[in-house]
Amino acid sequence: MSTTILAIESSCDDTSIAIIKDDAILVNKVASQAIHEKYGGIVPEVASRQHLVNIVPLLDQALQEAQLKMADLDAIACTRGPGLLGSLLVGVSFAKSLALSMNIPLIEVNHMQAHVLAHFIDSPVPTFPFLCLTVSGGHTQIVLIKDHLDMEVMGETRDDAAGEAYDKSGKLLGLPYPAGPLIDKHAKNGQAVFPFPEPKIDGLDFSFSGLKTAIKYFLRDSSKENPKFIEENLNDICASIQTRINTILCNKIKTAAELTGIKQISIAGGVSANSGLRKLMTDTAKEMGWELFIPQFQYCTDNAAMIAKVASYKFENKDFASLEIRPEARMKI
């Protein structure tokens, strides 16, 4: 029997709606919020209000593109967390309203679990068990995946996330938000000539707050000696920042692979779209004999297709949510 699920993602500043029918993603619509650029970062209240503006038109577009009606849906899925509470509240409330009005099941999805299962949207797919380095603006984790819905967080950041380190460093350089893709762009034309420290954190946990501080003072001191230092060395500074952040990430996943003996390795989340990280992980995979998996670019950043994929597995298990579910800013996989 065919199953059709509509999924909603609203954990941060991107509103997204996708529809999955059995194993196929029929449509994956995303509405981004450029309004945050002028603030140099995401303003939670503004984000939640923009979700209210975007979500109904996006639903209409998704149904039209998939050539479906609401009556064709078998379930509604939504991101419960983690994320910005106001943004999550819009998506969860909308999903609950749809499920109630149609008397169909509601499925709650963990945003980070969805990033991991984005690897199962298209072939080739990893086999169990595998390790996933999940890196985004708000999260940095190493996850052991034992099955589609059985995951264990082996390490995570103790303070800031890798994506935040990119964006905050870019702000220090005077780059507009979001700065991560711009650092990646400038780094392609530069060399990693400025040595930034690698945090000495035992185990598989991460820390990026000290690195951000080191970058801040380096730029301050260098600019005192030469007011045009950043302007004259922008490409090399970006290459140096990107190299350090990415080597921190890569070194930790190497340690995890050595500890577990697992050679099926994947990366996911918004930062996995970074070309420097992709190249470093690809080179490391060849060196270490790993089989490396990286989702398509459209499934790296926040999107509802990954929410739909998790929901399809939960639907098979009849793992439905109570209509009393509440959004959560912080959740464990």
Residue 67 is which amino acid?
Q
pLDDT given for residue 329 in this prediction: 84
Tell whether 80 and 130 lie within a shared domain. Answer: no
In this structure, the chain runs to a length of 333
Tell whether 242 and 304 lie within a shared domain. Answer: no
- In this structure, what CATH number is given to the domain that contains residue 89? 3.30.420.40
Tell whether 282 and 145 lie within a shared domain. Answer: yes
Tell whether 237 and 311 lie within a shared domain. Answer: no
Tell whether 160 and 101 lie within a shared domain. Answer: no
8 Å CB contact between 172 and 189: no
Tell whether 274 and 133 lie within a shared domain. Answer: yes
Tell whether 247 and 144 lie within a shared domain. Answer: yes
Tell whether 9 and 41 lie within a shared domain. Answer: yes
Tell whether 184 and 108 lie within a shared domain. Answer: no
Q: Lowest-confidence range among 39-53, 75-89, 90-104, 309-323?
A: 39-53
Can you tell me the distance from the alpha carbon of 28 to that of 102, in angstroms, rounded to the nearest whole number?
22
Band of residue 316 on the pLDDT scale cut at 50, 70, 90: very high
Domain membership of residue 72 as a residue range: 4-116+300-316
How many helices (H) and strands (E) the chain has is answered by 9, 10
The mean per-residue pLDDT over the stretch 270-288 comes to 96
Tell whether 69 and 188 lie within a shared domain. Answer: no
Asked whether residue 168 is assigned to any structural domain, the reply reads yes
Tell whether 97 and 128 lie within a shared domain. Answer: no
CA 320 to chain centre: 24
261: left (phi over 0), alpha (psi -120 to 50) or beta: left
The mean per-residue pLDDT over the stretch 290-315 comes to 96
Exposure letters 45-55 (e unless 16+ CB within 10 A, then b): eebbbbbeebb
Asked whether residue 277 is assigned to any structural domain, the reply reads yes
For residue 100, pLDDT beyond 90: yes
Instruction: Report angle CA 230, 236, 237 to the nearest 5 degrees.
Output: 50
Tell whether 207 and 277 lie within a shared domain. Answer: yes
pLDDT given for residue 14 in this prediction: 92
For residue 178, pLDDT beyond 90: no
For the entire predicted model, the pTM comes to 0.94
8 Å CB contact between 281 and 273: no
Q: How many domains does the chain have?
A: 2
pLDDT tens per residue, range 23-71: 899 999 999 877 767 777 778 788 899 999 999 999 999 999 999 999 9
The mean per-residue pLDDT over the stretch 195-218 comes to 95
The mean per-residue pLDDT over the stretch 91-113 comes to 97
Can you tell me the distance from the alpha carbon of 106 to that of 103, in angstroms, rounded to the nearest whole number?
9
pLDDT given for residue 323 in this prediction: 85
Q: Is 147 helix (H, G, I), strand (E, B) or coil?
A: strand
Asked whether residue 305 is assigned to any structural domain, the reply reads yes
Quote the mean pLDDT of the chain: 95
8 Å CB contact between 55 and 10: yes
8 Å CB contact between 215 and 241: yes
pLDDT given for residue 34 in this prediction: 72
Asked whether residue 326 is assigned to any structural domain, the reply reads no
